Amino acid sequence: MRRKLVAVLVVLGALLVMAAQCPFDPDLPDPDPEPTPGTVLFFDDFEVGVDPRLSLTSGNWEAVDGEIHSTTEDASAHVIDGASWVNYEAEVDTRTEEDRPWLIPYRGVAVRANGEQDYVVFYGSTQSMWFWVYRDGVRDDSYHGKVNQPLPDDCNIRVRVVGSHYEAFVNDVLVSQFDYDGPTSGTAGFRLRGNQDNQEAVWFDNFRVTAIE
C-alpha cells in the first residue's frame, strides 16, 4: 500500500512541475477567432468551374481552362455573402487575346456593391482610358478620375476601400484614388462593359477578396 501511495505522489509531483513550466497565458488567441486583416474572404481560380458563392449576376459567363469570360457585352459577377463587408481589397487578373488588339471593352473590379443599384467600379480598357463609375441607387452613374491611359493587355487590377477612400492599383502601382461618401458596406466582384462584339476576348482569373482594417 505504501509503495502505491509513493508512486501516486511521484506522478502528482511530476504533473505539478510540468504545470509550473507551462503556465496559462491569458493572451493566447482564441482557437476560432473572428476574421482579421489579411484574412482571405473569398478566392476563386476557376480551375474547377465557378465557386457557388460567386453569383454571375448579369450577362452570360463561362469558365474555360481555369479562366472565365463573358459572351455578352455587359456582364457582372459578385460574391453572394459579402453584403456586410466594409474595408477590404478586391483583385483579379485580366487578359485580352493578343490576336485581337482592337479590343474596346472595359474590364473592372467592383466594391461596396449592393445589387445593381449601389456600387463603385474601377474600369479600364486596352485602347482607351481608366476611370471610376459609382451609383448610389438614386442618381445615374457618375464618372470620376478619367485618365487617357490604356490598361496593359495582361494585368492585375486591385481596388482597396477603407471608409470613404478608394484606391485602384494596376500591377501593384497606385493609378487612381478618390473619396466618395456612398455605400458603407457591400460585396465585391468584377464587371465587363462591352462594345461591339469583342467582349469574348476579355478573360478573368484569380479573383480574391482580402480583409483590411
* DSSP state at residue 155: E
State the average pLDDT for the chain. Answer: 81
- If we measure between CA atoms, which residue out of 84, 80, 77 comes closest to residue 62? 77
Q: How far apart are the first and last CA of the chain?
A: 63
Instruction: Answer whether residue 196 shows pLDDT above 60.
Output: no
> Would you say residue 19 has pLDDT above 50?
no
Alpha helices in the chain (DSSP H): 2-21
34-43, 81-90, 104-113: segment of lowest average pLDDT = 34-43
Q: What are phi and psi of 134, to 5 degrees?
A: -140, 150
Q: Which amino acid is located at 95 in the chain? A: R
Q: Where along the chain do its domains lie?
A: 30-211
Q: What's the whole-model pTM score?
A: 0.79
Identify the CA nearest to 145 among candidates 158, 162, 132: 132
Nearest Cα residue to 151 out of 127, 175, 178 = 127
The class level of CATH for 30-211 reads mainly beta
DSSP 8-class letter at 201: G
Q: Supply 63's cell numbers.
A: 469558365
d(CA 144, CA 165): 13
Predicted confidence band at 100 (pLDDT cuts at 50, 70, 90)?
low
Taking only the tens place, the pLDDT of each residue in 118-154 is 899 999 987 778 999 988 776 656 778 888 888 888 9
Pick the closest to residue 189 from 100, 97, 73, 107 (CA basis): 107
CB-side neighbour CA atoms (13 Å) of 133: 21
